[in-house]
Structure 1
Amino acid sequence: MNAMTRLSVTAVSAAATLALAIGATTLATPANADPVSLEPAMSASATPAPTTGPTTPAPTPTVSTPGTPTPTTTSPAPKPPKKAKKKGKAKISNYKRLTKRAKKVALKVRSGWASIKSIGGWRAGSRYSGDHPAGRAIDVMIPSWKKNKNLGYSIAKYFAKHAKKYKIHYVIYRQKIWTTQNPRWRSMADRGGATANHFDHVHISVKR
C-alpha cells in the first residue's frame, strides 16, 4: 500500500470516529430538554418571607348615626290670669209662651237686677187671675226675701213709675197692689201665706 492510500484510510477512520462521538453526545441529551435556568426555581409551596417593619392598619370606616339632641330645660309658660266669673242671668220659666210685652218686662228685670236668679213666666193655671195662663204676667222671685224687701220694692216701684212705657196693667208686692186705674199703693186682703200674699216675689201683669 502506498502512502496515498494509507492517508485516505486514516482520514476515513477519523471521520467515522468523530461521527460516532457526535452521535453518542446527541443520544445523551434529549432533544426536548429545557435549557438550563440560571436562577433556581421557586417551589410552589414556598411561603414568602414576612415583611418586617411597622405596618399601617387599615382605616376603620366611620358609621354616621343621627345625633340625639341635647334636651333643653325650659320654664313652663305662665298661666293666663283667670277670668272673672260672669254673674249668672236669671232663668225665665216658659219664656217662649209669654206675650211680647211680658217678655220685654222679664228681660228688663234680668238685665237691670243681677241679684235676681229666677223669674216665673207662663203657667197653666192661676187661682186669682188668668194673666199667667194667658202669658201676660211674670213673678220676680226675691232671694232671701225676708231681708231683701228693699230689692223687691225697687223693682215694683220701677215698673209702676214706667207703666206707660211697658204697658203695665198692675203690680203686686208684699200684700199691696198698684194699678193703672188707681195708681197708688193700697193694701190687699190676706190670702193666707207668704207666697199668696206676694212677700217673696213681685207680680207684674201687662195689658193685652
Structure 2
Amino acid sequence: MPRRTAERRLVPGDVVRAAAVGSLAVGIVTFGSVAGALFFLVLGGVLVPRFLRLPAALDLCFGSSLLLAAWASQLGWYEAVPWLDLLVHAVCTGLVAVVGVIIMTRGQMLEVGAHPRRAKAGLVAITSAIGALSAIVWELGEWVGHTYLDEGIDVGYSDTIADLAFGLSGAMLAGLALAAQDQAWGRGHDI
C-alpha cells in the first residue's frame, strides 16, 4: 500500500506537466495549429520523466526547458534575444541526452563497467552521441516545419550549424556531469 501512495504523489514536474496541458490549449487558440503541434510534442516530452520516475530535479529541469523552448519560439524571444536560441539548444540537448542515457542504462543497453575510468569516458562519448543524434533530429524537425508548415521557422546553414554545435556542446557537458557523479557511475548504482 505505501508504494501506491508514493506513485500517486505529486512532484514538482507535475506542475510543468499541468502547464504543458494549459500551453497546448492556449497555443492552439492563440497561435494556431502549428503552435498546437509544437505544444503537443512538448506535452509528450514532459510525460517521459514521470513515466520513467526520474529524479525530481531532472524531471523539473527537463520539462521546464522543453516548455521554455516552445514558449520562446511562440513569443518571439529568439528574435529579441539572439543568444537564447543557442543556450536553449545546449541545455535541451544536454538534458535529452541524459534522459537517453538513463533509458539505455535502465534498459540494460549500457552497463556500468568494471573499470570506472573507462566507463566514465564511454559515458561521455555515448551521452555526446545521443545528444548529437537528438540535435540532428531537432534540426530536421525545424527544416520540416519550415518547409511544410510555417516559413517563419528560422532555418539556414549558419543557424543549423550553430544549433548543432551548441547542442553537441551541451550533450558533452552533460556527459561530463554524469561521469563526475561517482555515486551514480562506477559504483554499480542505477543512474
TM-score in same-fold range (> 0.5): no
| TM tier relative to shorter chain | under 0.3
Q: Which has the larger radius of gyration?
A: 1
Query: What is the TM-score normalised by the length of structure 1?
Result: 0.26
Higher relative contact order (CA 8 A, sep 6+): 2
Query: What is the TM-score normalised by the length of structure 2?
Result: 0.28
Query: Which one has the bigger helix percentage?
Result: 2
